[in-house]
Amino acid sequence: MTGHVALTGATGFIGRHLLRSLTERGYRVRVLLRRPVEVPEGAASAVVGDLTRPMNMAAALSDVDAVVHSAGLAHAMSGAPEDDYRTLNTEATRRLAEAAARAKVRRFVFLSSIRAQCGATSPHPVCEDDAEAPTDAYGRSKLEAERALAETGLDWVALRPVLVHGAGVKGNMAALLRLARSPYPLPLGGLSGRRSLISTESLAAAVDAVLKAPGPLNRALVAADPDPQTLPEMVAALRRGLGRGPGLLPVPGALLGLACRLTGREEIYDRLAGGLVARPDGLMALGWRPAMPTPQALALLARDGG
Give the residue numbers marked as catalytic. 138
Distance CA 157, CA 93 (A): 13
Q: Which residue, among 72, 20, 17, has the nearest Cα to 43 in the 3D structure?
A: 20
User: What is the rounded CA–CA span in Å between residue 252 and residue 250?
Assistant: 6
Cα torsion through 234, 239, 241, 244, rounded to 10: -150
* CA quadruple 247, 250, 255, 258: dihedral, nearest 10: 30
Q: Are strands 4-8 and 28-33 parallel, antiparallel or unpaired?
A: parallel
In DSSP notation, 141-193 reads: HHHHHHHHHHTTT--EEEEEE-EEESTT--HHHHHHHHHHHSSS-BTTTB---
